[in-house]
Structure 1
Amino acid sequence: MASGDRIFVQAIRRYCANHGIRLDVRADGWLLAMRRGETRHFAFGYDIGLNSAIAHRLANDKSATAEVLALEGVPCIPHLLFLNPKLGRNVVGAAWREAMLVLLHDNPKGVVVKPNEGTSGRSVFKLTTEVELDHAVGEVFSMNAGLVISPYVAIESEVRVVLLDDEPLVVYSKQRGSDWRHNLDAGAKPVLMEDGEVHTACVKLAVDAARAIGIAFASIDVVRVDGAWQVLEINSGVMMEALAKLHPELVQKTYDAALDRVFGEAR
């Protein structure tokens, strides 16, 4: 096993070795080709290949996810889309910056600007002034075709639920460090949740969100704001690198369950 493998790749290597599946690792581990007999399956990035194309695209688009959840009546944090003006006036329109300023004015506690696609909390900005807005927008648009703006809310707690066919395989809270964000890459620590009222509420909301976009295997982040739980985002690629440092057996078991579905194994 290559020492530099991500946990995701290591888990798939173990599964394939234990089930007589040939594995070809390409593109430095970002493309995995699994073959058993005449059947071949692919994993790409952190996507294990269980979700439909439309569910995958919806989950990877924060604005689209929020729109669908709102249509289905699932409580969620709004994410308003703005396309990069470099795409052209006919695509973007002329009043995009004015619309951003309206959002800033309407949210005196601040707004959050981040790429419309992407994970791990990179290029995420909390801001309250026009100068900060212009800086954040410039940074995000320098590398992305679109961004989303959300009202800043004081998140009391954040929980991640990993679902497979509506079954919660992993439920943990993100214990925030000194950063205002709950991202694991920003220093938050995963803490497994025991059964109870909060666990039940978070799982129910995650299942409602998964059903709304028709996704089979996903990690869903839910947050409590003013005592009420809302969906923050849905991730089609299930990344558990930080959790694996504390609970490697649970992470392996979770990926094993998903791969059993990929290869039609009985659970």
Structure 2
Amino acid sequence: MVNHPHLQLAAVTRYCAERGIALDVREDGWLLILGDAPRRHFIFGYDFGLNSAVAHRLACDKAATASLLAASGIPAIPHAFVLAPALTGAREPDWPSILELLESHPKGLVVKPNEGTSGRAVTRATTAAELKGSLTRIFATGASAAIAPLLQIADEVRVILLDDVPLIVYRKQRPVVSGDGGHSLRELALATVPVQQHAQLLRRLAGEFDASTLDAILPRGAQRLLSWRHNLEFGAQPVLLTAGALREACTALARAAARVIGIRYTSIDVVLVDGHWQVLEINSGVKMEVLGRHAPELVETACFAALDKVFAHHPSG
């Protein structure tokens, strides 16, 4: 198992201890069994079991979610669905149709696993060779891919909802450095993190920039983003939004999107493109491990709120 939900486990453990609920921890916290028969409840990974099976499956499918939102009049980033050739009986994907997407979006595409999370295996493709390479890598380990237009995303906000109530709302602020006229982009980037994180950061930088760009001196006052992704796992920092018009606008859009697929407990990413907010994706599993490093009390509060919903339907006695 990867990405074990350790902070989530700590919150669930405390909840159960305070309320006298039995807790059986399996698979290093990946599977939790709360309560005793016949009143048992399961948490699997980041899925608290509050969402219906259909809502969960829809949220896990980026292309299906985008299609449903668009059909319901909710502004959303389009995602084209591409099935792995191994599942269609074909020797290779329908490259002519796929390459038409690139012709329609000459600025480039974003290729991602259709059911992936945390920005893993997400790549940009601006040429036919890059597009084919990205899809081939996904199909080597996955069943399907989603292809979205490469857009200039000015801002990204995550809204964590529970039955229409926003529990946590935060902006994903990408890492940026400012040039001093004397140090390279690589040196400036490394100065932003502790030494023990240098190796990880260098791997990320190698995927973002070529060697000549990393070695070039950044002019004084010039600013450079260190990642085109807004994922916390790729260095973005959470900036909590506790009030204001931005929070209200993003929450309203996320709430409307959640209602379309009937999902109760979810994290929804909304993005600002050309001055308009759109839904990027809906997540059924509410993953807060990285957020918890910055605001562990919020992770616990969200977990407690979700579990209160669970055990409201499992009265004692």
TM range (shorter): over 0.9
Does the 8 Å contact 2:5/2:30 carry over to 1?
no
**Per the alignment, in what secondary structure is the counterpart of residue 141 of structure 2?**
coil
Q: Are 2:200 and 1:202 aligned?
A: no
Instruction: Give the deviation of 1:94 after TM superposition.
Output: 7.8
1:120 to 106, 118, 121: 118
Q: Measured at CA, do residues 186 and 105 of structure 1 come closer, stay the same or move farther in structure 2, by a change above 3 Å?
A: same
State the Cα deviation string for residues 10-30 of structure 1 (Å, max 9, x = none). 111111111111111112221
Task: Work out the CA distance in 2 between the residues paired with 1:169 and 1:194.
Answer: 10
Does the 8 Å contact 1:20/1:36 carry over to 2?
no
Instruction: Give the deviation of 1:75 after TM superposition.
Output: 0.5
Does the 8 Å contact 2:82/2:146 carry over to 1?
yes
Task: Work out the CA distance in 2 between the residues paired with 1:97 and 1:202.
Answer: 37
Task: Work out the CA distance in 2 between the residues paired with 1:166 and 1:105.
Answer: 39
Task: Work out the CA distance in 2 between the residues paired with 1:21 and 1:242.
Answer: 27
Task: Work out the CA distance in 1 between the residues paired with 2:247 and 2:164.
Answer: 14
* Correspondence for 1:233: 281
Moved more, 48-57 or 192-201: 192-201
Larger radius of gyration, structure 1 or 2? 2
2:155 to 149, 154, 157: 157
Task: Work out the CA distance in 2 between the residues paired with 1:19 and 1:36.
Answer: 14
Count of residue correspondences? 261
Task: Work out the CA distance in 2 between the residues paired with 1:94 and 1:114.
Answer: 18
Q: Which amino acid aligns with 1:50?
A: L
Q: Are 2:298 and 1:262 aligned?
A: no
Task: Work out the CA distance in 2 between the residues paired with 1:245 and 1:235.
Answer: 20
2:234 to 175, 178, 186: 186
Query: Structure 1, unaligned stretches of length 5 or more?
Result: none
**Per the alignment, in what secondary structure is the counterpart of residue 33 of structure 1?**
strand
Task: Work out the CA distance in 2 between the residues paired with 1:108 and 1:40.
Answer: 53
Task: Work out the CA distance in 1 between the residues paired with 2:95 and 2:310.
Answer: 45
* Correspondence for 1:168: 166
Instruction: Report the TM-score, using the length of structure 2 for normalisation.
Output: 0.79
Instruction: Report the TM-score, using the length of structure 1 for normalisation.
Output: 0.94
**Per the alignment, in what secondary structure is the counterpart of residue 249 of structure 2?**
helix
* Correspondence for 2:18: 18
* Correspondence for 2:270: 222
* Correspondence for 1:138: 136
Identity of aligned residues (%): 55
Instruction: Give the deviation of 1:6 after TM superposition.
Output: 1.4
Moved more, 144-153 or 24-33: 24-33
Instruction: Give the deviation of 1:88 after TM superposition.
Output: 2.7
Q: Which amino acid aligns with 2:290?
A: A
Q: Measured at CA, do residues 137 and 5 of structure 1 come closer, stay the same or move farther in structure 2, by a change above 3 Å?
A: closer
State the Cα deviation string for residues 62-113 of structure 1 (Å, max 9, x = none). 0111111111111000011000001133xx7987211110001111110000
Q: Which runs of 4+ in 1 moved over 4 A?
A: 92-95
Does the 8 Å contact 1:162/1:168 carry over to 2?
yes
Q: Measured at CA, do residues 47 and 104 of structure 1 come closer, stay the same or move farther in structure 2, by a change above 3 Å?
A: same
Query: Structure 2, unaligned stretches of length 5 or more?
Result: 176-225
**Per the alignment, in what secondary structure is the counterpart of residue 121 of structure 1?**
coil
